[in-house]
Structure 1
């Protein structure tokens, strides 16, 4: 979800507003599907949401679950495959206890839309989770995510909803009978 931006967002009220020097750090990240460099018609709202996603992903890569939960609003909700909804940042934090040395969560945004009032928007894309099983073998999970962002009264942006779903089976895998 790291996005190389060549535009200053200082006109937006964003926690830890990005300066030109911090954009250099983002510019070193792998490219994403949406970039104002390749799509100059992106709205400032879409660019803001992509920049937020980039900072969110970078923070989680460095600090794991603790960083993940810190990006959520107090009344946020998470929705995941086969699990009940988790309501509120405190409950989300209680479940987001992973160490980035044990579990690595990464994601890449593929799109964003800002609402007409510029105080709420959403992003979506692809995620990967990497860990090891009890035998030390690598385990990778992949899927799609959808994040709803909202601007709080103090001008900061937080995640209001995070939803994810595992990737569907590859073509033909849905109908394969398990072997005994």
Structure 2
């Protein structure tokens, strides 16, 4: 509940900012909506207040990412697939690219009751024309193995967003990679 309150306050402050008033209509619409869709994992916080150079466009992308994450937490794979553009692409470790919303939706068939995917944006950049940008951050997936033991996967993600002619935003590209090895683990020689 604390996060929702903070997000609501943050969005109200952003909506009244003179920077928002100078931005395009898409930015105004999302920032003024009052939607508090940011979700954050403990220890991994993307705080716009600690990033004084965060632009209104980046805030739009962070808001979209929060809505996307919340929708997937509630709706699982079906919700995941619905956020993609018709020509969207997913790229995942060790797997072939999946091209197109229909194919992505066909692959994303998990139930949120058995697999929980969550992520936290850690940064965003909007392109100069305010119709395309990207976000990046950390993700976690929680499930259980065949013995009922918890399984946790984690890694980094990168999402490219594009604004469609009708003014809506969709995911053009979603890519993820497993969490890197802990510092020093990749190059340590076995001890005799």
- TM surpasses 0.5: yes
Question: Is structure 2 residue 46 aligned with structure 1 residue 34?
Answer: yes
Aligned to 1:90: 102
Question: Is structure 2 residue 162 aligned with structure 1 residue 111?
Answer: no
Question: For 1:47-98, what per-residue CA distance to the aligned partner results, in whole angstroms no more than 9, with x for missing partners?
Answer: 0000000000011001100111110000000000000000000000000000
Can you give the 5+ residue segments of structure 1 that lack an aligned partner in the other structure?
A: none
Q: Distance in 1 between matches of 2:189 and 2:47?
A: 39
Aligned to 2:157: 145
Question: For 1:111-162, what per-residue CA distance to the aligned partner results, in whole angstroms no more than 9, with x for missing partners?
Answer: 1000011100000000000000011000000000000000000000000000
Question: Is structure 2 residue 108 aligned with structure 1 residue 73?
Answer: no
Q: Distance in 2 between matches of 1:50 and 1:22?
A: 12
In structure 2, the residue corresponding to 1:37 is in which secondary structure?
A: helix
8 Å CA contact 2:131–2:162 kept in 1: the answer is: yes
8 Å CA contact 1:33–1:111 kept in 2: the answer is: no
How far did 1:21 drift? Answer: 5.0
How far did 1:168 drift? Answer: 1.8
TM norm structure 1: 0.84
Distance 1:146 1:30, change over 3 A: closer
Number of residue pairs matched by the alignment: 172
Distance 1:105 1:153, change over 3 A: same
TM norm structure 2: 0.79
Of structures 1 and 2, the one scoring higher in RCO (CA 8 A, sep 6+) is 1
Can you give the 5+ residue segments of structure 2 that lack an aligned partner in the other structure?
A: none
